[in-house]
Amino acid sequence: MLDLTYDAPKPKTIAGATGDWELVIGLEVHAQVATKAKLFSGASTQFGAEPNSNVAFVDAGMPGMLPVINEGCIEQAVRTGLGLKAEINLWSAFDRKNYFYPDLPQGYQISQLYHPIVGEGEVLVELGNGTARRVRIERIHLEQDAGKSIHDMDPNMSFVDLNRTGVALMEIVSRPDIRGPEEAAAYVGKLRQIMRYLGTCDGNMQNGNLRADVNVSVCRPGDYEKFMETGDFGVLGTRCEIKNMNSMRFIQAAIDYEARRQIALIEDGKEVVQETRLYDADKNETRSMRSKEEAHDYRYFPDPDLLPLEIEQAWVDDIAASLPELPDDKKARFINDMGLSDYDASVLTADVANADFFEKVAEGRDGKLSANWVINELFGRLKKDDKDITDSPVSPEQLGKIIGLIQSDAISGKIAKDLFEIVYTEGGDPEAIVEERGMKQVTDTGAIEAAVDEVIANNPDQVEKAKANPKLAGWFVGQVMKATGGKANPKAVNELVMKKLAQ
């Protein structure tokens, strides 16, 4: 497989009163593991269920209840790690992070602080114009999600829904390699794309399937390069962490706001305080939630209810062998083997459902022609109806047949569009429709010749003009096409018109 090469994009630079500043960003992404049951109980993870209906005794923190690890969650974390080209740790362990909150009945969250299941990996984040950022992954660990506190149903009451309590999360921690708001959003998008291909996270940000804590600092040009050389965080600026972002748009807006706030502070002779902040979308600003001094002491310690997690290399190898083709490889194959442009390949691999559809259409057919039809005709038509590829009225088999008819010269491109509309609205077998409705392209030169002769005989004036000015030959082609209801093969018509006019 040929690799695609990209240039590194320029970091986002903000001009301050005292010179330029660059952004440095690191993300902690919380991805809900796609499994039926929770991390340590058999309770269902179904979204939108009746409040407190998916709660096992262990999730509710009942005394004496013991967690039992769900193998499916471990497998999903391993799959995700492999998809991010990361090291898989055969030995990992769970720790308790102690804090009190009503939506956390155990009084602690089970997480993996000291020995995460997945180590270092990397993601390629494409940013257009032939540029891409390689973002290093520091680690992925498994942890429990908390429940939900509901404060806005009644001003005098707080409610708690424990359905989410104990659902498995993967926390994917990046190195501070992201250099701008767009890159941060694109990075989250790339993680989501990969996890959807892998089937390890649904990536639905509105449902809170995918949330990010965003760490932002600013530095002077050249400082980041020094950091990369030495690994010394001291050369970078002090960072702030913006908690729990669940929209690409807000991630970008919050980073931009936060960077400008820090620059203004520093240029004003003040210091950036390392703290946790919250983004207020209504006001488009971040505000302090708690400073480092107020930070909780979580009193982490190894969870005595759980044995260390030991997995076998052979099991990891089996999972690796079962991985689907990932977006980068698929895109490279579409470009290198099927002749698609970088843009078309990106569009078609953005979502695995699009890619699967396209591959069925293109099987045994021209890749570029198939890509044009899927992107321009099908996607365009679906968008008009606000439909998704998964509820497309035209199946890949039907669209493939339409393209086959074009390739075999049975129908012209123009007729193909009519045929597509018929199949889209009425359904049916494209080949049968072409037969039944007489849509076949006329390639029989005898029939075309008769039509050409007729147009020439009826328009002596035009013939004289066209003989003097060959550019006018197109008019005859148009007339013949009209006379044959668009069914004549345009190439054959063109050749015959030229031949007759030259006589």
Binding site for ligand ADP (CB under 6 A): 24-28, 173-176, 215-217, 233, 236, 239
Closer to ligand ADP by Cβ: residue 184 or 253:
184
Closer to ligand ADP by Cβ: residue 255 or 456:
255
E-strand stretches of 396-446: none
Closer to ligand ADP by Cβ: residue 175 or 360:
175
Rounded distance between C-alpha atoms, residue 60 and residue 221, angstroms? 51
Residue nearest to ligand ADP (CB): 26
Rounded distance between C-alpha atoms, residue 407 and residue 402, angstroms? 9
Neighbour tally for 328: CB within 10 Å: 20
Residue 482's identity, in one-letter code, is K
Q: Would you say the C-alpha torsion 454, 458, 464, 470 has a positive or negative sign?
A: negative
Residues near 271 by beta carbon (within 8 Å), at least 6 away in sequence: 238, 265
Closer to ligand ADP by Cβ: residue 91 or 233:
233
Rounded distance between C-alpha atoms, residue 328 and residue 1, angstroms? 10
**Token pair in block for residue 300:** 């982490």
Closer to ligand ADP by Cβ: residue 24 or 448:
24
- Smallest distance from the beta carbon of 144 to ligand ADP, in angstroms? 17
Rounded distance between C-alpha atoms, residue 451 and residue 482, angstroms? 10
Nearest in space to 430 (alpha carbons), one of 449, 415, 447: 415
Q: How far is CA 374 from the centre of its chain?
A: 18
- Smallest distance from the beta carbon of 10 to ligand ADP, in angstroms? 18
Residues near 191 by beta carbon (within 8 Å), at least 6 away in sequence: 29, 31, 84, 123, 172, 210
- Smallest distance from the beta carbon of 266 to ligand ADP, in angstroms? 13
- Smallest distance from the beta carbon of 215 to ligand ADP, in angstroms? 3
Closer to ligand ADP by Cβ: residue 135 or 439:
135
- Smallest distance from the beta carbon of 27 to ligand ADP, in angstroms? 6
- Smallest distance from the beta carbon of 139 to ligand ADP, in angstroms? 8
Nearest in space to 236 (alpha carbons), one of 28, 26, 27, 24: 24
Closer to ligand ADP by Cβ: residue 110 or 402:
110
- Smallest distance from the beta carbon of 113 to ligand ADP, in angstroms? 9
What is the DSSP secondary structure assignment for residue 273, as one 8-state letter? P
- Smallest distance from the beta carbon of 305 to ligand ADP, in angstroms? 24
Rounded distance between C-alpha atoms, residue 290 and residue 274, angstroms? 9
Closer to ligand ADP by Cβ: residue 273 or 323:
273
Looking from the CA of 298 toward its CB, the CA atoms found within 13 Å total 15
